[in-house]
Chains A and B, each alone.
Chain A
Amino acid sequence: MNQTIDQILAQHQHDATRLLGMLSDIQQTYRCIDDAAIEQVAQILNIPRTRVLAVVEFYNFLHRTPRGHYDILISDSITDHMLGKQAVMDYLCQRLGVKPGEVRADGVVSVDNTSCTGLCDQGPAGLINGRAMPHLTRERVDAIAELIERQVPLAAWPEEWFAIADNIHRPDLLLNEKLAAGSALRAALQRGGDATLQEIDASGLRGRGGAGFKTAMKWRFCREEPQAERYVVCNADEGEPGTFKDRVLLNRYADEVFEGMTVCGAIISAQRGFLYLRGEYAYLLPHLENVLATRRQAGLLGGNVLSTSFDFDIEIRLGAGAYICGEESALIESLEGKPGIPRNRPPYPVTHGYLGRPTVVNNVETFLAAAKIAYHGGAWFAAVGTSKSSGTKILSISGDCARPGIYEFPWGTSLRDILAACGASDVMGLQIGGPSGTFVSNHEFDRVIAFEDLATGGSFIVFDTRRDIFEIVHNFTHFFAHESCGFCTPCRVGTSLLKKQFDKIYEGHGSAGDVVELEGLGRLVKTTSHCGLGQTAANPILTTLERYPDLYDQKLKKISYEPGFDLDGSLAIARRLTQRDDAAAHLAQVED
């Protein structure tokens, strides 16, 4: 028995719902979770070893074989690519003598790609042993490589390499003033649960994660459930490529976010709340724990909140690299220490959420807005925005613009105005709402952000006319295939088939029937998948096919049928075996 692992499990009170946290700690200590560790965890927690194994294999940041002492992950988001990610990655690998995905033979360093790290306004970015490094350049890579070769501990590296900027360029309703800690909660408790819920209702606040469910209605449903044990969950698994607003909100407005959760807890009579923080933001943890500790000391959390009979506390749980955990039921599964696989619905989390209990799951921004509404009242919020989309939306703007960063706009603002504000010109198109959202061309800039037009969780990526649509769609389509949880057939197999089918066209092997095939497959994945991931995975393909059919046509070969693979390329093994490379050992692909 390994005593360190014993201690880690004890620190987590042997609570199997905290399995993911235990495994992350073991990963950090031993750079892997080997079979002996899996066995020990299973035995002590008295759960099947296969359950531990399933969790280890599900999350990107957990490994069965050791990663390097310096484990570097480079963000593979399209926004990082636009800032020169590939050159940085190639140079890093060359300098360190390691290939992406591999651990160097001496075990000192490993390098890999990772899905968007939420540093799109300061990329190309990466993580080293979980710490975020923005603005990677060739010079920085040289310096990093030197420290690694000398095996200088991370703690002794220059602090400024890890400095993350907030880049708030346009504050509005939510961001232009900070609430004094406790003021919203005091207002809510004085007003009472019913009246505060009415204010939230009057504000018209809808969920900021993208789906736009009315917040007051969700809270009311949960509150009306007969079960006494209820939970509040804040979804800070901000994984949609191109979005990073929650990182900034948690860095600068954590008090307000926790206050919104506490107000929710008071209204629905919950005693516990969770902040589910994506593993990529683990470096925010010390700051967030500090804020929680301060709030406890101030009587804003814990037993008898503000000297009332209301008990409420918040626990932070970390993800470990899985985009799917942003889906609320997958997030709850992950909170329970399981692989993040979305549940069947009904039942919904408001009735059967965490541990089967009524649970409110809301986005970081929703809780921030709720706190402000509890303080200022519903009318204050409803006065801004459109009739169906009240208030403001915080956007994460990145890509080809002069001032990438955080912008808060009233709902109903046109794309044209947003582009002017961030200093974008010569724009070809925009990705609104991230890869799972919509691609909008430069003929549509009079459209507005609003639930009734372009709903968005906040990702806003600008592409100017130098950009190639196919590079963008290629990146997004590979992203979804990588992040599919694999639960349902259409998404598990379909996203990989979409990747193959798109790549065939992308690599110049497509013929006329291939676009029809791509579209049909996209439609199937969209309409038959189990959850939002599969239902939106074909959006990059479908929305660009709709807008740029001629670009796809130009990619096609002129022959009517094209094999699904490179004929000559697939003979390479045969050539090597026979040690031949003469003309007769090659097949020319037929062209007319």
Chain B
Amino acid sequence: MAATITIDGKTIPFTAGQTIMEAATAAGVYIPHLCHAPGFTPHGSCKLCTVKVNGRNCSACTFPAMEGQQIINDSEELRHDRRMITQMLFVEGNHYCPFCEKSGNCQLQGVAYHLSMLDSHFPHFYAHRDVDASHPDVMIDHNRCIFCTLCVRASQECDGKNVFAIAGRGINKRLVINSPTGLLKDSDLDKNDKAAQICPTGAILIKRVGYQIPIGQRLYDHQTIAEISLAREAVEHE
């Protein structure tokens, strides 16, 4: 008998060492997430993947699957909480979908649609953040950074570099570049690095490819983030 967990009443097998997220994805169950991507050390910071494990809130991306866990993933309460967490991310930075190049390909936007988020609800912070367009091939718009650290991890774990890090504390935390000037152009980032490609929002963009795919034909324009995520990540989790 394979070990199993139960998510929303559905029995799901898992192998030792898998997280709840990995087991769920392999079984075709979508758990919303932003800071998680298959193949990277789990981070557990965005808290979008909060699920109830035996009555207690846990991050599905970091919490190990264990025999007999009763997990709630899809409930009105969790949808509400995840929507509020997404709204927090929207008001913390400056996210203007109508003129963002990432619109339609953006995971933050995709998750917001998935959670039926209709407004930002909370008062905006209107944080003053910069744009770093110094690099010939890659630009950073710090207004759109949600501190998922995927670029930090991709640079360390895939590219064997250390281009990005998070500095600051609390609401003042910020993405910083490992270069003598702090500018992207003086770092060793290459546009083909995983770190340059992995941003779930429009914070890190490759230059000169903007709008090549028209709005309306983009990733999440015709399929939900749940469908796309499962189709892409189920393979990588295996």
Q: Tell me which residues across on chain A come within 8 A of B167, comparing CB atoms.
A: 50, 53-54, 56-58
Q: How far is the CB of B31 from chain A (nearest CB, A)?
A: 14
A-B contact pairs, 18 of them (CB 8 A): A39-B180, A48-B162, A50-B167, A56-B167, A58-B168, A339-B169, A344-B62, A481-B170, A481-B171, A483-B170, A484-B169, A485-B169, A489-B92, A493-B171, A497-B91, A497-B122, A529-B47, A530-B45
B128 at the interface (CB under 8 A from A): no
Q: How far is the CB of A390 from chain B (nearest CB, A)?
A: 28
- Asked if B171 contacts A496 (CB within 8 A), the reply is yes
Q: Would you give the 0/1 interface string for A482-494, flagging 1 where the beta carbon is closer than 8 Å to chain B?
A: 1111111110111
Q: Tell me which residues across on chain B come within 8 A of A339, comparing CB atoms.
A: 169
A-B contact count (CB 8 A): 110
Supply 6 further A-B pairs (C-beta < 8 A) apart from A48-B162, A489-B85. A53-B165, A54-B176, A486-B169, A486-B170, A486-B171, A530-B45
Q: Tell me which residues across on chain B come within 8 A of A95, comparing CB atoms.
A: none
Q: Tell me which residues across on chain A come within 8 A of B168, comparing CB atoms.
A: 54, 57-58, 486
- Asked if B173 contacts A486 (CB within 8 A), the reply is yes
B88 at the interface (CB under 8 A from A): yes
B89 at the interface (CB under 8 A from A): yes
| Among B64, B81, B165, B171, residue most surrounded by chain A Cβ atoms (within 10 Å) | B171
Task: Given A49-B178, A493-B89, A493-B91, answer yes or no on A344-B169 (Cβ-Cβ < 8 Å).
Answer: no
- Asked if B169 contacts A490 (CB within 8 A), the reply is no
Give the contacting residue for B45; candidates A39, A54, A489, A495; CB below 8 A.
A489
Q: Which of B142-194 contact A (CB under 8 A)?
A: 146-147, 162, 164-173, 176-178, 180
Q: How far is the CA of A565 from the CA of B91 in the complex (A)?
A: 15
- Asked if B171 contacts A492 (CB within 8 A), the reply is yes
Q: How far is the CB of B153 from chain A (nearest CB, A)?
A: 14
Q: How far is the CB of A43 from chain B (nearest CB, A)?
A: 11
Q: Which of A475-520 contact B (CB under 8 A)?
A: 481-490, 492-497, 500
- Asked if A530 contacts B165 (CB within 8 A), the reply is no
B223 at the interface (CB under 8 A from A): no
Q: Tell me which residues across on chain A come within 8 A of B91, comparing CB atoms.
A: 493, 497
Q: Tell me which residues across on chain A come within 8 A of B50, comparing CB atoms.
A: 528
A5 at the interface (CB under 8 A from B): no
Give the contacting residue for A530; candidates B44, B162, B166, B176; CB below 8 A.
B44
A residues with CB within 8 A of B:
39, 48-51, 53-54, 56-58, 322, 339, 344, 346, 481-490, 492-497, 500, 521, 524, 527-530, 564-565
- Asked if A58 contacts B169 (CB within 8 A), the reply is yes
Q: How far is the CB of A128 from chain B (nearest CB, A)?
A: 24
- Asked if A50 contacts B178 (CB within 8 A), the reply is yes
- Asked if A527 contacts B180 (CB within 8 A), the reply is no
B42 at the interface (CB under 8 A from A): yes
Q: Tell me which residues across on chain A come within 8 A of B44, comparing CB atoms.
A: 344, 488, 530
Q: How far is the CA of A200 from the CA of B178 in the complex (A)?
A: 49
Task: Given A344-B42, A492-B171, answer yes or no on A50-B85 (Cβ-Cβ < 8 Å).
Answer: no
Q: Closest A residue to B149 by CB, please name it.
A: A487
Q: Closest B residue to A483 by CB, please name it.
A: B170
Q: How far is the CB of A511 from chain B (nearest CB, A)?
A: 14
Q: Tell me which residues across on chain B come within 8 A of A48, comparing CB atoms.
A: 162, 165, 178
- Asked if B47 contacts A50 (CB within 8 A), the reply is no
Q: How far is the CA of A493 from the CA of B171 in the complex (A)?
A: 6
Q: How far is the CB of A185 from chain B (nearest CB, A)?
A: 39
Q: Tell me which residues across on chain B come within 8 A of A530, comparing CB atoms.
A: 44-45, 47, 59
B230 at the interface (CB under 8 A from A): no
Q: How far is the CA of A488 from the CA of B173 in the complex (A)?
A: 11
B residues with CB within 8 A of A:
42, 44-48, 50, 57, 59, 62-64, 81, 84-85, 88-89, 91-92, 122-123, 125, 146-147, 162, 164-173, 176-178, 180
- Asked if A57 contacts B169 (CB within 8 A), the reply is yes
Interface of A is mostly: helix
Q: How far is the CB of B49 from chain A (nearest CB, A)?
A: 11
Q: Tell me which residues across on chain A come within 8 A of B169, comparing CB atoms.
A: 57-58, 322, 339, 484-486
Give the contacting residue for B123; candidates A524, A528, A564; CB below 8 A.
A564
- Asked if A528 contacts B172 (CB within 8 A), the reply is no
Give the contacting residue for A344; candidates B59, B123, B170; CB below 8 A.
B59
Q: How far is the CA of A497 from the CA of B81 in the complex (A)?
A: 15
Q: Tell me which residues across on chain B come within 8 A of A483, comparing CB atoms.
A: 170
Q: How far is the CA of A495 from the CA of B176 in the complex (A)?
A: 23
Q: How far is the CB of B19 from chain A (nearest CB, A)?
A: 10
- Asked if B165 contacts A496 (CB within 8 A), the reply is no
Q: Tell me which residues across on chain B come within 8 A of A54, comparing CB atoms.
A: 165-168, 176
**Which 8 A-B pairs give the minimum distances between C-beta atoms?**
A50-B165, A493-B88, A486-B173, A484-B170, A344-B62, A486-B170, A57-B167, A54-B167
Q: How far is the CB of B171 from chain A (nearest CB, A)?
A: 5
Q: How far is the CA of A387 from the CA of B1 in the complex (A)?
A: 43
Q: How far is the CB of A50 from chain B (nearest CB, A)?
A: 3
Give the contacting residue for A489; candidates B47, B164, B177, B180; CB below 8 A.
B47
- Asked if B165 contacts A495 (CB within 8 A), the reply is no
Q: Tell me which residues across on chain A come within 8 A of B125, comparing CB atoms.
A: 496
Q: How far is the CA of A564 from the CA of B123 in the complex (A)?
A: 7
- Asked if A50 contacts B177 (CB within 8 A), the reply is yes
Q: How far is the CB of A37 from chain B (nearest CB, A)?
A: 13
Q: How far is the CA of A527 from the CA of B55 in the complex (A)?
A: 11
- Asked if B81 contacts A527 (CB within 8 A), the reply is yes
Task: Given A50-B167, A51-B165, answer yes or no on A489-B88 (Cβ-Cβ < 8 Å).
Answer: yes
- Asked if B170 contacts A495 (CB within 8 A), the reply is yes
- Asked if A53 contacts B176 (CB within 8 A), the reply is yes
Give the contacting residue for B88; candidates A322, A487, A494; CB below 8 A.
A494
| Among B42, B57, B81, B173, residue most surrounded by chain A Cβ atoms (within 10 Å) | B173
Q: How far is the CA of A389 from the CA of B84 in the complex (A)?
A: 39
Q: Tell me which residues across on chain B come within 8 A of A487, comparing CB atoms.
A: 45
Q: Tell me which residues across on chain B come within 8 A of A528, comparing CB atoms.
A: 47, 50, 57, 81, 85
- Asked if B81 contacts A489 (CB within 8 A), the reply is no
Q: How far is the CA of A488 from the CA of B146 in the complex (A)?
A: 10
Q: Tell me which residues across on chain B come within 8 A of A484, comparing CB atoms.
A: 169-171
Q: How far is the CB of B145 from chain A (nearest CB, A)?
A: 12
Q: Tell me which residues across on chain A come within 8 A of B84, comparing CB atoms.
A: 521, 524
Q: Closest A residue to B82 by CB, please name it.
A: A528
- Asked if A489 contacts B46 (CB within 8 A), the reply is yes
Q: Tell me which residues across on chain A come within 8 A of B45, comparing CB atoms.
A: 487-489, 530
Q: Tell me which residues across on chain A come within 8 A of B42, comparing CB atoms.
A: 344
Q: How far is the CA of A409 from the CA of B176 in the complex (A)?
A: 49
Q: How far is the CB of A426 from chain B (nearest CB, A)?
A: 37
- Asked if B47 contacts A490 (CB within 8 A), the reply is yes
- Asked if B62 contacts A492 (CB within 8 A), the reply is no
- Asked if A486 contacts B81 (CB within 8 A), the reply is no
Q: How far is the CB of B78 from chain A (nearest CB, A)?
A: 10
Q: How far is the CA of A564 from the CA of B120 in the complex (A)?
A: 14
Q: Tell me which residues across on chain B come within 8 A of A50, comparing CB atoms.
A: 162, 164-165, 167, 176-178
